[in-house]
Copies of this chain bind each other. A is one copy, B any other.
Amino acid sequence: MTLMKSWVASANAPDHPFPLNNLPYGVFSIGDGDPRCGVAIGDMILDCREAEEEGVIDMGTGPLFDVPFWNEVMEEGPELWARLRARLTEILAEGSPERAAVEPLLTPATDAVMHLPFLVAEFTDFYAGKHHAVNVGTMFRGAENALPPNWLHMPIGYNGRASSVVVSGTPVRRPWGQLKSPDHDTPAFLPCRRFDLELEMGAIVGSGSDGPVTVDEADEMIFGYVLLNDWSARDIQAWEYQPLGPFQAKATATTISPWIVTAAALDPFRTTCPAREVELLPHLRDTVPMLYDIDLWVSLAPLDKPASIITRTNYNEMYYSAAQQLAHHSTSGCPMNPGDLLGSGTVSGPEKGNRGSLLELSWGGKEPITLETGDQRSFIEDGDTLILHGAARGDGYTIGFGDCTGQVIPALENPYER
């Protein structure tokens, strides 16, 4: 696909993240104004609430934009999603006769504060990148037990904590937790010493289900994608995760990028999963390409210093697609709801420079990485800002996500003193 031109001139630059081909969905506010739904187009945001009030958007449903989240659009289902996208494309396309009516509904993005784009119903995090699973498994359980026996047969996941999902830009406070170092007999309650990022994609369930769904059905249920940083306290995790999985190590915060990039916008970038090492059971088998070719990279900026890129990878490295994860999630009859968020699992590539966490990049802290500033890092230090970036690159255009940013601030001195 090639660039679709908009009358919003900034949207037509080949490297702009928000061309007419994208039209990502967010929630923004200006000054003291109420948060409302908006669509990014170039350097501008279309105010959906105003557009609906003015009759520029009228999908023949009840009001969709009287609330500051996209869940009501999701609940309408794929047919409405397609019609809404077509209408937005129509009014923002070069030559649209409606330009004069639409132009007053645009606000410069630089004036906007972004909010969570949807109400997160429940959050599930998967472990579906093979390079990551092998790397972490080797460090936690040794090379001979790196990949659990079930891993090649189904996307392993665990339920996370929806209440801890925050939008890009929210500061993240270093947590306290129960830790036990190998050279102590008993655990201690201390601020986390091995605080880490996880570079992930988040898939947003748009349509619900109340019974098992096929991989094809699951693919149609997915509304869109965000970048997702699943902040991880590695020392808390190592002590707590056996036998019931990660719990407090993953509950401090999960940051998502502010714009939902729709599955429709990503459709031209579909790609297949890697070759299967063992055949999947029929209910989890790939049908059509359901991964996406999305470049992902992370930069780290120490306090008051410039950022260095610390890793580069691609979403096409995952062993399981979000559709396969969602299909697996539904096998038990587990009800899935609009607003459920599925983390892909850490996206690591095959080489050292492609790893999606500091745990892997520094190999458990044994091989610190050196930033362009000369600073070294094994794990995140206070004041560090982590920035996740993503881009799907088309013919003369780019589909971007907006940055997924978080600065780590120091732990509370005494967590019980308020």
Contacts and interface: CB of A to CB of B under 8 A. Distances in A.
A164 B334 contact: yes
Total copies of the chain: 2
Nearest to A211: B415
Given A211-B412, A331-B175, A122 B158 contact: no
A86 interface: no
Contacts of A89: none
Contacts of A212: 176, 412, 415-416
Contacts of A140: 243
A173 interface: yes
A143 to B, nearest CB: 15
A68 interface: no
A416 to B, nearest CB: 6
Nearest to A243: B148
Given A175-B331, A212-B416, A122 B248 contact: no
A162 to B, nearest CB: 6
Interface size, A (range): 35 or more
A157 B236 contact: no
Contact of A245 (B236, B245, B253): B245
B252 A334 contact: yes
A252 B159 contact: no
A271 interface: no
Given A121-B163, A140-B243, 10 more contacts: A127-B244, A156-B240, A158-B159, A158-B247, A164-B335, A189-B281, A213-B416, A214-B416, A248-B334, A251-B333
